[in-house]
Amino acid sequence: MNAQELVQKHKLLECIQCGMCTGSCPVSRKVDLNIRRYMREVAVTGKIVKYSQDVLWSCTTCSTCGLRCPKGLSPFEFLIDMRSMAVEEGQIPPTLRDALESVFKNGNPWDRIRSKRTEWAQGLNIKHISQGAEILYYVGCTASYDPRIQEVAKSLVKCLQKAGVDFGILGEEENCCGNEVYGVGEKGLFEFLVEENMKLFNKYGVKRMVTTCPHGYNTFKNRYGQTSFEVQHHSQLLANLIENGKLKLSKELNKKVIYHDPCFLGKQNGIYDEPRKVIESIPGVELLEFDRSRERSLCCEGGGGRMWVDIPGPRLAEIRVQNAVDAGAEILAVACPFCLLTLEDAVKTTGFEEKIKVMDIAELLALAL
Ligand code: SF4
Ligand code: SF4
């Protein structure tokens, strides 16, 4: 892609230089990620500008800049294209390159072998989608392999089985969804994943899907260009099951819970109410709110490939944990595996382990069954 194509595709000449994008960017607090200036430079010079590696890979693709832009531009999509060019030239952090190679080789970015993908599900009596099921539970790479996030998958399974939902999984056939692959600009690999995954979904006649990861939800809904199946985030399905009386919550949880809106669920897809409905339905729970909640939620820095790229400077997840403790919360509830991992790590590094616990909404719900 040349500079002229970038200018046209991202409507760079429509930018009024208001600076709302840079001003709202959570990462610009720690690195010189001046997205307004970068767009301007390409528009004015008509040349591709090279940015430092720290700047280029610092964006979490949280989408706040796009949400704030009064001209309806999407600055982060411009940055993803800049990343694509860097990837083509082999300018990519080694940790990220390894993650992408693992996606191609193993179907996951965590460098784990495919045959271990369903270890978490042993003994849970979950059928393979080939046996016929109304809903495909797309587990995702992190819930399949990370021991902490496997607990979220198990909790969701407990809730679905209790509610009598007819669901199945893809087992070892499941592949990476590609959301992060797209976000770091490896569009060739992303197209390959779309093709492979769509073949698989069509083979099993998938019409409905649920996922515990907003990144998977986002990519299947917005990036696959598909209309053959409907995808739900687990917060939507669980809220629906509670509303329809299919999930009865009998145990009290007497806790103060604060909810952190994941960027890929909230800002990118407008899902703010369902996770809150799930939390509020649990007997004995008091739901608290951050000052910065819903579309103002502070990014945890887990998206856009940042799970594999460390950027020096103050960690936003630590600020978030401090804010949760200051609000008097005992549980910091999330609805995203990356948020769970980054925030749980921040609880440890801030020394708040005795004060607050990070849990997915499915885990909270499973405790109340
Ligand atoms: S997507 Fe988020 S991190 Fe990236 S430039 Fe926009 S506001 Fe900053
Ligand atoms: S918010 Fe939109 S219009 Fe304003 S500087 Fe950023 S890209 Fe330009």
Q: Is the pLDDT score of 3 beyond 90?
A: no
Distance 67 CA to ligand 1 centre (A): 10
Residue 366's region, left for phi above 0, alpha for psi from -120 to 50, else beta, is alpha
pLDDT reported for residue 23? 95
Distance CA 282, CA 210 (A): 21
Stretch 156-172: mean pLDDT, rounded? 98
Mapped onto helix, strand or coil, the DSSP state of residue 294 is helix
Report helix angle 35-45 to 75-88, nearest 10. 70
Give the pLDDT band of residue 50 (cuts 50, 70, 90).
Answer: confident
Distance CA 222, CA 259 (A): 24
Q: Is the pLDDT score of 54 beyond 90?
A: no
311 and 57 Cβ atoms separated by less than 8 Å: yes
Q: Is the pLDDT score of 51 beyond 90?
A: no
Q: Which of the listed residues 16, 41, 44, 76 should we mutate to test ligand 2's pocket, taking the one with most ligand atoms within 8 A of CB? A: 16
pLDDT digits (tens, 9 = 90+) for 256-294: 999 999 999 999 999 999 999 999 999 999 999 999 999
Q: Give, for 280, the enclosing helix (H) or strand (E).
A: helix 273-280
Pick the atom of ligand 1 nearest to 61's CA.
Answer: 1
Mapped onto helix, strand or coil, the DSSP state of residue 208 is strand
pLDDT reported for residue 305? 93
Distance CA 305, CA 192 (A): 18
The pocket around ligand 1, CB under 6 angstroms, is made up of 25-27, 33, 35, 59-65, 75-76, 79
Q: Would the CB of 15 count as within 6 Å of ligand 2?
A: yes
Q: Is the pLDDT score of 46 beyond 90?
A: no
Q: Is the pLDDT score of 130 beyond 90?
A: yes
User: What single-letter DSSP state applies at residue 297?
Assistant: P
Q: Is the pTM of this model over 0.75?
A: yes
Q: Is the pLDDT score of 48 beyond 90?
A: no
Distance 110 CA to ligand 1 centre (A): 24
pLDDT reported for residue 53? 85
pLDDT digits (tens, 9 = 90+) for 205-231: 999 999 999 999 999 999 999 999 999
Give the pLDDT band of residue 183 (cuts 50, 70, 90).
Answer: very high
Mapped onto helix, strand or coil, the DSSP state of residue 75 is helix
Q: Strands 208-211 and 135-138: what pairing?
A: parallel
Give the pLDDT band of residue 52 (cuts 50, 70, 90).
Answer: confident
**What does 321-338 look like in DSSP terms, one character per residue?**
HHHHHHTT-SEEEES-HH
Stretch 233-253: mean pLDDT, rounded? 96
Instruction: Report angle CA 250, 252, 257 to the nearest 5 degrees.
Output: 125
% of the chain with per-residue pLDDT over 70: 100
Distance CA 276, CA 51 (A): 40
Domains by residue range for the chain, with CATH: 3-88 (1.10.1060.10), 94-240 (no CATH), 248-368 (3.40.50)
Mapped onto helix, strand or coil, the DSSP state of residue 31 is coil
**Atom 7, ligand 1: residue with shortest CA distance:** 25
pLDDT reported for residue 47? 86
**Cβ neighbours of residue 105 under 8 Å, at least 6 residues apart?**
none
pLDDT digits (tens, 9 = 90+) for 69-87: 999 999 999 999 999 999 9
Strand spans (E) along the chain: 127-128, 135-138, 167-169, 208-211, 230-233, 255-259, 285-288, 331-334, 357-360
Give the pLDDT band of residue 358 (cuts 50, 70, 90).
Answer: very high
% of the chain with per-residue pLDDT over 90: 94
The mean of the pLDDT values for the chain is 96
